[in-house]
């Protein structure tokens, strides 16, 4: 009987003294998803500029320039340009959707509309830099993006970025759309 108590006590103490389980490691896709979120957030100044100047939300010429440039960069990084093109098409479509959402808000609540037009060229320079970072992250995470763990890693990264950046429902949904082609 005494042996049972000693063994039970030892097991209990071992369980109590064992280190707590380490928090789950952050997703390896976190930097890529965070860059995608940063790129989505450029929709605010871009939409403000277009709203104040009467510009159109969709710009097929500019969109194609972005896709062509990122696909060319993908080739230089030995990545599948069609894959990178799909990723950026989704990113652009998500950004356009956010811009439409902002236009709708401003149309329904003119007091919330921007009072000045930010420099669209400066926003596009920022976007181009983020595009480059995204292609670099795609190259860096290529094995993860093609692994069975990708969907779980992606979901974890989207959740983490959405929480860290305090994304509202529109931006959260846009981030999910922007990242939907990541896992192959």
SS (H, E, C) 85-120: HHHHHHHHHHHHHHHHHHHHHHHHCHHHCCCCCCCH
Residue 72, both tokens: 């060319």
- Alpha-carbon distance of 112 to 29, in angstroms, equals 35
Residue 38, both tokens: 């940063």
pTM for this predicted structure:
0.85
- Alpha-carbon distance of 106 to 181, in angstroms, equals 31
pLDDT reported for residue 117: 86
pLDDT reported for residue 184: 86
pLDDT reported for residue 15: 38
CA 24 from centroid of its chain's CA atoms: 20
Quickly tell me which residue has 């930010």 as its tokens: 118
Angle separating helix axes 43-53 and 81-108, nearest 10 degrees = 50
Classify domain 27-177 by CATH architecture.
Answer: Up-down Bundle (1.20)
Per-residue tens of pLDDT for the chain, all 184 residues: 544 444 443 433 343 333 333 345 789 999 999 999 999 999 999 999 999 999 999 999 999 999 999 999 999 999 999 999 999 999 999 999 999 999 999 999 999 999 998 899 999 999 999 999 999 999 999 999 999 999 999 999 999 999 999 999 999 999 999 999 999 8
- Alpha-carbon distance of 102 to 99, in angstroms, equals 5
Cβ(153)–Cβ(144) below 8 Å: yes
pLDDT reported for residue 92: 99
- Alpha-carbon distance of 125 to 135, in angstroms, equals 16
- Alpha-carbon distance of 156 to 148, in angstroms, equals 14
User: What b-and-e string marks burial along 20-51, b requiring 16 or more CB atoms within 10 Å of the CB?
Assistant: eeeeeeebbbbbbbbbbbbbbbbbbbbbbbbb
Cβ(182)–Cβ(87) below 8 Å: yes
């Amino acid at each position: 009987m005494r042996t049972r108590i000693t063994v039970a006590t030892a097991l209990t103490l071992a369980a109590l003294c064992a280190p707590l389980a380490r928090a789950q490691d952050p997703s390896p896709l976190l930097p890529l998803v965070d860059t995608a979120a940063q790129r989505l957030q450029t929709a605010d100044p871009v939409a403000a500029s277009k709203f104040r100047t009467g510009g159109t939300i969709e710009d097929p010429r500019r969109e194609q320039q972005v896709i062509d440039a990122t696909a060319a960069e993908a080739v230089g990084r030995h990545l599948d340009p069609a894959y990178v093109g799909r990723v950026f098409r989704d990113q652009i479509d998500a950004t356009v959707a956010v811009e439409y959402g902002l236009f709708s808000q401003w149309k329904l609540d003119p007091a919330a509309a921007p009072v000045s037009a930010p420099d669209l060229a400066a926003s596009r320079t920022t976007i181009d830099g983020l595009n480059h970072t995204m292609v670099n992250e795609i190259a860096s995470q290529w094995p993860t993006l093609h692994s069975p763990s990708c969907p779980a890693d992606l979901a974890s990264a989207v959740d983490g970025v959405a929480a860290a950046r305090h994304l509202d429902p529109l931006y959260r949904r846009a981030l999910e759309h922007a990242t939907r082609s990541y896992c192959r």
